[in-house]
Chains A and B, each alone.
Chain A
Amino acid sequence: MDEPVAVIGASMTQFGQREAWIQELLAEAGAACLEDAGVPPADVEHVYAANMASGEFEGQGGVMNALAHDLGLLPAYSQRVDQTSSSGGAGIYAAWQSVASGASEMTLLVGGEKMTHRTTGEATDVIASITHPAEYKHGVTLPSFAGMTARHYLETHDAPRESLAKVAVKNHQHGVDNPNAQFQKEVDEATVLESPIVADPLRLYDFCPITDGSAALLLCPESVAREYTEEYAVISGVAGATDTHVVHQREDPTRMGGVIESSDRAYEMAGIGPEDVDVAELHDMFTILEFLQMEGLGFAEAGEAWQHVEAGRTERDGELPINTSGGLKSKGHPLGASGVAQAVELYEQLVGEAGPRQVEADVGLACNVGGFGNCVITTILESGGEAA
C-alpha cells in the first residue's frame, strides 16, 4: 500500500511513581488515546503493547492480551513488542507496518513499563541482563557504559565536562512545562556538577530516573484519518537498525552505528535530510547519549555536538529544539513507553497542541535507543491535513 500512514490520536499517562500496575497503566493510556481520536474500540483491528520486562519486573506476562480485553478491542489481533528500551520505537515500526501493509485500517499502540516498586539495584540488574554474559559477569550496567563512553568523548574531543551538565539543565527546563513529566523542576549547572557520582565522570543528574508510565498512539491510513479528524500527523519515515550486542566490540565507542543506519534509511524514506528537521526527541537516558545521537543523526559533526548545546541551539527557542518534552531525563523513562512518548510529543508539536512547549514545526524526528545503542529506531513525523 502506498498510502501514507497517519497518527490521529496520542496520549500519555502521568510519568513517575505510580500505584497502578502494568496492565492498568497500559489501559489508561490506551483508553485516553481512543478518546483523543474519537475512535470507538470496535474500530481497532490491531493492537500492539510495547513493553520490555513486565515478566521480570512484576511477574506479569500476556500484557497485549490483557490490554485488548480491558479496552474492549476483541477480537483485534494483539502482539507484544520487546526491543529492550527501544520497545516503544519498535512498536511504532510494527504498528506502521500493520497499517502500511494493508493488514489493519486502525492500529492502537500502547507502550508502558512498571518499575518503581523495585529497588534501584534490582531495576538496574533487570536492565543489565540485556548485556552479553561476558559483560554481565563483571557487573557492568548501562550507566557504567555511559561513564566509560563519556570519558572517551570528553578526552577525545577536548569537550568540557560542563557541556554534559548543560544537557541536563536544558531538558529539566523543558520538562517544567510538561504536566506529565516525572520532574517538573529546573536544576542549575552547579547542582548537576555537584551531585553524587554514579559512573565517573557522570553524576546523578546525568541520568534519567526509574519511572512508571505509559503512552499511546493511534494509526490508520491517511484516507481513514480524514474521516475522523482534520488535523493529524503522518509517519513519513521509520526504520530500525542493530549494532553489536557486545558494546566494546565497536570500533569507536562514541559512534552510534544503529543511529546512523536507522536515520539514513528514515531520511531516505521521508525524502528529507537532517537540515529539514524542525524538532527532535532524542533518547537522553544519559546526557552523553544526546551528544552521540545528534552526531549520528547528522545534526552535528562528529565531536561537535557539545558546541551546539553550549551555544543554546538545542533549547526550545534555538535553531533545532531537542527534547521539548523534557526528554527521558526530566519526563522519565518507563522503558517500553519512552519511544511512544517521544512520538506523542512530536504529534502534539505538529498539530499545535503542545501548549507552553509549542515550537514552530512541520517535521519532527524521534530517536529511540535500546541497550547502549544496540537497537535503534528512528521515526520521522510530519504535519498532515490542516495541520500541514
Chain B
Amino acid sequence: MSDDRAPPATASWDQEPLVATRYESGAIACPGHPLGPEGTQPVGTVDLAEHTAQVVTWTTSTATPPGVREPNHLAIVEFEVEGRSVRVLGQLTTGEVETGDEVRPIYVEELREPGVGIKDADGPQAWDGYRFEPVE
C-alpha cells in the first residue's frame, strides 16, 4: 500500500515499524534515512506491513545479549513493492524456515525486554516491531 504522506521529519527510528521511505530516485528503504541514495530527498512512505516477503537468508542465534530471547531466529527478507525490492531484517516466529520461503509480518509489542541491555527502557530506542511468520 502506497502512502503519499509527508516523510517523517524526525530520526528514522521514530518511524512506525515497517513503514519504508520512498525517495526522489524511486528507491525505497526500511528504515529510512534523512537523505536517500545519492543524497535524494524522501518524498513519501510505503507501509510494508500488509505485504508478504521472501527469506533471503536466516540464522538462529543461540548466544544472545541480555533481554533477548534465546534462541533468536533472525532473517533478512525481501519485499517487492512498486517494482522495487526492499530488504528488511527481523525476527522470525520459528526456526523452521528455508531460504526463499514466503513470510508475512506479525506485530509484536516487545521484540526484546526494554532496559535490560545497554540502552535505557525509556530512551529513544523503540522496542516494538514485526516478526516474520512463514505463509503456509
Q: Which residues of A contact B (CB under 8 A)?
A: 56, 120-122, 124-126, 128-129, 132-141, 143-144, 147-149, 151-152, 155, 196-202, 246-249, 253
Contact = CB atoms under 8 A, between A and B. Distances in A.
B83 interface: no
Given A139-B111, A248-B88, A134 B31 contact: yes
B29 interface: yes
A137 B62 contact: no
A136 B64 contact: no
Contacts of B65: 121-122, 124-125, 128, 139, 141
11 contacts: A121-B65, A122-B66, A137-B111, A137-B112, A137-B127, A141-B63, A148-B58, A148-B76, A151-B58, A248-B76, A249-B29
Given A124-B64, A137-B129, A155-B99, 9 more contacts: A125-B65, A132-B13, A135-B89, A137-B128, A138-B74, A138-B111, A139-B65, A149-B57, A198-B61
Interface stretch (B2-10, B40-48, B118-126): B118-126
Nearest to B60: A200
Interface of B is mostly: loop
Contacts of A253: 56-57, 76
B13 A134 contact: yes
B63 A246 contact: no
Contacts of A155: 57, 99
Contacts of A202: 59
Q: Which of A121, A141, A144, A149 is the most central at the interface, judged by chain B CB atoms within 10 Å of its CB?
A: A144
A148 B31 contact: no
Contacts of A144: 59, 61, 72, 74
B84 interface: no
Given A120-B63, A133-B124, A248-B76, A138 B57 contact: no
Given A148-B57, A148-B58, A248-B88, A125 B117 contact: yes
Given A144-B72, A248-B88, A196 B66 contact: no
Contact of A143 (B31, B58, B63, B125): B63
Given A128-B65, A137-B112, A151 B91 contact: no
* Interface residue range, chain B: 35 or more
A291 to B, nearest CB: 15
B125 to A, nearest CB: 5
A249 B119 CA distance: 24
B68 interface: yes
Contact of A139 (B29, B112, B124): B112
Contact of A137 (B30, B118, B125): B125
Nearest to A123: B65
B111 A151 contact: no
B60 A121 contact: no
Given A137-B112, A137-B127, A139-B112, A246 B58 contact: no
B66 A247 contact: no
A138 B124 contact: no
Contacts of B58: 148, 151
Interface string B27-40: 00111000000000
A135 B17 CA distance: 11
Contacts of B66: 121-122, 125
Contacts of B76: 148, 248, 253
Closest 4 CB pairs of A and B: A147-B59, A139-B68, A125-B65, A133-B13
